[in-house]
Every structure is written in structure tokens, then in C-alpha cells.
Copies of this chain bind each other. A is one copy, B any other.
Amino acid sequence: MKVDGQNIRPIWLDSDLKKVKVIDQRLLPHEFLVADLKTVDDVIRAIKEMVVRGAPLIGVTAAYGVYLAALNSPTDPVEDAYLIEECIRLKSARPTAVNLAWAVDEILSEMLKVGDASEKVDAARKEAEKIAEAEAENCRRIGAHGFSLIDKISRSKKGKTVNLLTHCNAGWLACIEYGTATAPIYAAFDNGIDIHVWVDETRPLNQGARLTAWELGKYGIKHTIITDNAGGHLMQHDMVDMVIVGTDRTTFTGDVANKIGTYLKALAAKDNNIPFYVALPSSTFDWKLRDGVRDIPIETRNPDEVRYVQGLDRGDIRHVLITPADSPAQNFAFDVTPSRLITGFITERGVCRASEKEILRLFPEKKKS
């Protein structure tokens, strides 16, 4: 996507084919820094510490991690046992996003098909690039399908500003291009629809206030940052026409694990008859899980992410303690929104209701015989 006139993605392979380059998303919007990932350990650390984040991007980064594993193999030819071991390590970097395991397994199966070391390395690179391009293309399609929903609201409001609300960052930073939740927003903006986005801050790591606001600002889209507490009030007072969020894992029955707090916004949307959409590439579907609230593993992260807040003070990025020094905190990274609260899914194949039947209508190849 364009940032200050330059096209950029959150991840790319360096021209020497030895380093994976990623935007360090921990420092935005205050600093724009590109980090080098050279080893599987670098990749795991980048995923764990959220240098990269967002389900599709985690998948693509892990895919490049498999490539780096092959590239840095201690043996020649690359041993399958080594590769499988590295893939297991990569898959355990974070528990909730299903794209991680999906992307690693995709690429591993391609590599196990070919023989010698250079073939394996080539296969890994091509497959990682293929996954990245596929995610970008999926997001483009999500944008096209979601656009018609926003366009419809705009027409019903006779061209008056369409107010969207989003939680966390399901933007291009979380994907490769366009984003998932933001793809329809970018498409609407590109097509001249008058839109305004309420951006949930998204504590504890403020991906909304830091990343979504930055993305939208750089694209020139009107937006306003609000606390995570404010969305219900806005919805009670007709200040939100549609909610769009992303997802980190989606059951085939339509339950959605997304950034903690998504469930609260879905409840408020339901209570105020406001459409609540989840935008997702099919790589975030978990075709095995039926009951999201019960079965999707929810990551708990370092409590200091709650106790401290990062921000800019006189040019320096600082971490300030906001709690009493001796008060404990707990840090749940995701929650699960049950399908009954979701108006619909916006996928690369079109829009459908959040139900097993409708999902399988769009993805018939996933039907169990």
C-alpha cells in the first residue's frame, strides 16, 4: 500500500534472498523501522513479540520462516526430520491464529515433495511467495465484496457520511495488501464514498490507535480514535452504520476469535440492530472446530502489556507504568464472538451468513463426505 507516495508491504524477501524484511509494528506510529529476520529463531521472536501480527501476516511470516529453515539447514541435503522439527517450533510461536499452522503445513508439504537441498529451498521460497500473493489477492476480493455492503448503506443514507467502526488492526499491516476489515473501507474510499471510521484504541497494545489510525491517516481516510469503552454509546446514538472486524480463527460454524473486546462490540451492535461483519480470507477458517467459545485456544500474554503503556514523550518512545507497582494484571489476547451475533462474513468468495450451511455453500470443497 502507498505510504508517503511509496508502495510498501509489511513483509518482503530481500533482494539477496537471505533476509526477510518486516516493518517493526511495535514502534508505529512513532517510528518507521524495518527489521531483518535471518533465522527461524528471528521469525519466532518476531511473531511472539509482535514485531509482526495479524493472522494473515503471521501465516506469511511463518511461511518465510520455513524458507529460512531450509536456507540455513545444517545439513546438505536438507533433512526432512530437521524441517519438520523447525515447522513444529514455528507453529508453536502463538496459539490462536490458525493461519500460522495452515501456512507452515502448506509449505512443508510442498517441500517434502522435492528432492535435493536447492530444490527444497526454491520450493519453500516459491510457496511462501505464493501464499503472500494469495493473501493479497484474497484481501483485494474481500474489498470488492465488502464494498457493495458499504455502497448500499451510502445509497440508503443518500450519500451522507457512512460511519464504520473497527476494532484492532485488520488492515494491510496485518495482511499483505488492503487488509481484511479495511479492504472494503479502502475500496469505498477509492470509489468516492463519503466514509468515516471510528477506530477502537484496542488495549492493551493499542493496535487500533497506533496502526489502524496510522494506516487510515496515510491513505487520507477520515477517522476518529475512541477508547474501547466508547463503541456502545456511539451505537446507541446512531453514530455507527456498520461494524467490520477481522478474525484470527473462525470455526466452520461461524464463531470468531478476534482481538479481546470484539465480543463486547458485537453485543452492542446486536443490541442496536447495527450490522456486524467479519472480513476474512479462508485461511483463517479452522475446519475442525465446531464450538469457538469452548475450543479455540486463547493466548494469555505478559501482564506487563496491561500494566505499562507505550507512547511518545519528547521524541522518545517510553513505557509508562499506569497501575500501582504491586497490583497484578492479567492479559487475555482474544475473545470469541459467537456466530449468533455476527451479521455476515466477507470472504474472498463473497458474503455469507455466519453459519455452517452458508460457509460450506461458499467453500463446498470443505464438506465432509
Complex interface: chain B residues within 8 A of A261 (CB): 227-230, 232
- Which listed residue, B213, B268, B328, touches A224 by the CB 8 Å rule? B328
Q: Are A322 and B229 neighbours in the complex by a CB distance under 8 Å?
A: no
Complex interface: chain B residues within 8 A of A201 (CB): 203, 306, 322
The docked-state distance in angstroms from the alpha carbon of A199 to that of B334 is 18
Complex interface: chain B residues within 8 A of A231 (CB): 264
- For the complex formed, measure the closest distance between the CB of A242 and the CB atoms of chain B, giving whole angstroms: 18
Q: Is A29 an interface residue (CB 8 A)?
A: yes
The docked-state distance in angstroms from the alpha carbon of A208 to that of B214 is 28
- Which listed residue, B210, B237, B307, touches A225 by the CB 8 Å rule? B307
Give residues of chain A (305-338) contacting chain B, Cβ–Cβ below 8 Å.
306-313, 318-332, 334-336
The 8 A CB mask of A213-230 against B (1 = contact, 0 = none) is: 110010000011111111
Complex interface: chain B residues within 8 A of A213 (CB): 323-324, 327
Complex interface: chain B residues within 8 A of A209 (CB): 322-323, 327
Which of A223, A260, A308, A326 gathers the greatest number of chain B CB atoms within 10 Å?
A260
- Which listed residue, B210, B227, B323, B324, touches A228 by the CB 8 Å rule? B227
Q: Are B309 and A313 neighbours in the complex by a CB distance under 8 Å?
A: no
Secondary structure class of chain A's binding surface, majority of residues: mixed
**Contact of A323 with B227 at beta-carbon distance under 8 Å, contacts A264-B268, A335-B233 already known:** no
Q: Are A313 and B324 neighbours in the complex by a CB distance under 8 Å?
A: no
Q: Residues of A within 8 Å of B, CB-based: how many?
A: 64
Give residues of chain A (250-284) contacting chain B, Cβ–Cβ below 8 Å.
259-261, 263-265, 267-268, 271
In addition to A308-B311, A310-B320, 18 A-B residue pairs with Cβ atoms within 8 Å of each other are A29-B323, A201-B203, A201-B322, A202-B229, A204-B227, A206-B322, A209-B327, A217-B327, A224-B329, A227-B331, A229-B335, A230-B261, A233-B334, A234-B332, A236-B293, A264-B267, A264-B268, A309-B322
**What residue of chain B has the Cβ atom nearest to residue A234's Cβ?**
B332
